[in-house]
Amino acid sequence: MSDYQAHVSARDRRPVVAALGIIQILSWGSSFYLLAVLATPIAHNTGWPYPWIMAGVSVGLLVAGLVSPRVGKAIGALGGRPIIALGSVVVAAGLCVIGCAPNLVTYVAGWCVVGVGMGATLYDAAFSTLGKLYGLGARTAITAVTLYGGFASTVCWPLSAYLVALFGWRGACFAYAAIHIGVSAPLCLIFVPRPAPLPAGIAAAPPTSAKANLTTDERVILVILGCALTVSASVLSLMGAHLLTLLQAHGVALADAVRLGMIVGPSAVGARFIEMLAGERYHPIWTMIASVVLVAIGSLLFFVGEALFGIAIAIYAAGNGIGSIAKGTVPLALFGAARYPALMGQLALPILLAMAIAPFAGAVAFTWLGAAGTLAILAALASGNLVLVVALFAMTRPRRR
């Protein structure tokens, strides 16, 4: 580690991690998880078609994916402090547009604005910020931020329900907008430091040079890594959108399906906590291997029978939980801190696009193939991802010595 990185790493990280963690809870809760609570009240109040209401999140994710490469370059040049703070304000603006929307066109336009903010506030931006601050020593901080993020639905679903009961769905959007301006942006500006200036004689690499500086082998590694992370994101988004429906299609009552679904959060956070305690002892590629293995096992266990659904969900969720850590730590370990923010922005594009498309693709699969066929697709994706990660492991062996 260079003297510059050692200087940055010596800072007390706890306030930084806590601030970024709270921002993750609020950003995920008021965007990706928002319509789980608000969609039905919106439909009842406006008469807009439910599928079009739910499409708002997909639109937001698509826009977030498109802006992510530019966000990564900006964080590489300026650090995450101004970018994430501005992103919180943009999310607030988008929520205000949604809250005021008189029609579907304005509603979707609001989600486009929210999507820009999502690209500048969600995990990829937070990971890039930590990589910029702490260099190769950012792994523990990245893991800790994912622990906070794992509670986004746990915190914000009840909060959203309370806000809807108190103010209606439009008022809930305005309330979240106020929270972003009054809590998220100030937290970032107060507790996330600017990157320390480089010592005299050390020139900063141009933020746009990361891709150009890749060797041929590194380009291949980046493509394989991007494919593996994109497949993982597809499985996560598809399962997250349709888990309760798939369980009910296999004869599980709604109340029981909800109880089974509640296993996801604790399993993911528990696995992340274990990784945080033990992760420094091994290369992050092993976290990624463990993630895809657990997701594959969990997906295949759904075919055994209803008696094992709880175990299948717990194993699947644990794999996805540490998969979020691998997404942030593997690129840092393989490509270094200097190129990390820009490369995270590039990787975020296919990942967020996959997350946007997967729920719709899952709905089509469920309509045409039924629950068994949809689960078969999930299992095939999860199992196929093992091949990609094995290839990544083989390609990166010389870089891990």
Per-residue pLDDT of 196-227, as tens digits, reads: 665 544 445 455 445 557 888 889 999 999 99
Phi/psi region, residue 202 (left: phi>0; alpha: psi -120 to 50; beta: rest), is beta
Q: How far apart are CA 222 and CA 239, in angstroms?
A: 26
Greater pLDDT, 306 or 182: 182
Q: What is the pLDDT of residue 215?
A: 86
Q: What is the pLDDT of residue 211?
A: 55
Q: What is the pLDDT of residue 399?
A: 65
Mean pLDDT over all residues of the chain? 88
Per-residue pLDDT, averaged over 321-346, amounts to 91
- Min mean pLDDT across 103-112, 121-130, 199-208, 241-250 is at 199-208
Q: What is the pLDDT of residue 3?
A: 41
Give the containing element (helix H, strand E) for 189: helix 185-191
Closest C-alpha among 139, 162, 391, 174 to residue 287: 139
- Min mean pLDDT across 27-36, 254-263, 380-389 is at 254-263
Q: Which domains does the chain have, with CATH numbers?
A: 3-191 (1.20.1250.20), 216-400 (1.20.1250.20)
Predicted confidence band of residue 252 (pLDDT cuts 50, 70, 90): confident
> Is pLDDT at 147 greater than 80 in this prediction?
yes
Q: What is the DSSP string of 11-54?
A: S--HHHHHHHHHHHHHHHHTTTTTHHHHHHHHHHHH---HHHHH
> Is pLDDT at 135 greater than 70 in this prediction?
yes
Show the CA angle centred on residue 386, arms to residues 316 and 346, nearest 5°: 90
Per-residue pLDDT, averaged over 76-95, amounts to 96
pLDDT tens readout for residues 166-205 = 999 999 999 999 999 999 999 999 999 988 665 544 445 4
Q: What is the pLDDT of residue 37?
A: 86
> Is pLDDT at 80 greater than 80 in this prediction?
yes
Per-residue pLDDT, averaged over 130-144, amounts to 90
Q: What is the pLDDT of residue 242?
A: 80
Side-chain half-sphere exposure of 63, counting CA atoms within 13 A? 24
pLDDT tens readout for residues 18-62 = 999 999 999 999 999 898 889 889 999 999 988 888 889 999 999
Q: What is the pLDDT of residue 181?
A: 97
Q: What is the pLDDT of residue 157?
A: 84
Over its C-alpha atoms, the chain yields an Rg (Å, rounded) of 20
Greater pLDDT, 198 or 144: 144
Q: What is the pLDDT of residue 4?
A: 43
> Is pLDDT at 14 greater than 80 in this prediction?
yes
The answer to whether 63 and 31 have CB atoms below 8 angstroms apart is: no
Strands (E), 215-335: none
Task: Give the amino acid at 54.
Answer: M
Q: What is the pLDDT of residue 401?
A: 58
Q: What is the pLDDT of residue 320?
A: 92
The token pair that represents 284 in the structure block? 């992050």
The answer to whether 113 and 94 have CB atoms below 8 angstroms apart is: yes
> Is pLDDT at 251 greater than 60 in this prediction?
yes
Greater pLDDT, 353 or 154: 353
Per-residue pLDDT, averaged over 7-26, amounts to 82
